[in-house]
Amino acid sequence: MGLEAWSDRDGSDKFFDEVENYLTERKLSVLGILTTFKSEKKKKKKRELLFVTDKNTIGADVEQRLFDGLANSPQLDLKETDKLGTPKEPEHTRVWEQGNTDANRKVIAPLVKSLLEGTGGQS
């Protein structure tokens, strides 16, 4: 299921409320949701990423490094999208369509880790 189907099912406001509640209840600084699905028409493999940060527990510099590092990663080939509507905290939320559908969690997780730790991330 793609993020849009999930959001359409629950409504955009409720979807973002649930994401933010999940982040808060679990006391997370960063929440990443990765989806894989096939397009309805062409049955083509698609991937999307949604990242939300807690402005109270993560520094602006770390958040910027994470968002910029992901957005500019040639490994992922991300394109920002607003198809989910506007989240309550748009400056702390990013939604991307992933161009390189071969890059899975085994590629994304180490990249996110290195960006959060400030040890690079670009390959």
pLDDT at 123: 46
**Average pLDDT score over the chain:** 92
* DSSP run (H or E) holding 78: strand 78-80
Write the pLDDT tens digit of every residue in 26-66: 999 999 999 999 988 888 999 999 999 999 999 999 999 99
- Token pair, residue 78, equals 């991300």
The reply to whether the predicted model has a pTM over 0.75 is: yes
Beta-carbon contacts of 38 under 8 Å, excluding residues fewer than 6 positions away, are 44, 45, 46
Residue 6 banded pLDDT, cuts 50, 70, 90:
confident
Q: Cβ(18)–Cβ(61) under 8 Å? A: no
Q: Helices 60-71 and 105-117 sit at what angle, rounded to 10 degrees? A: 140
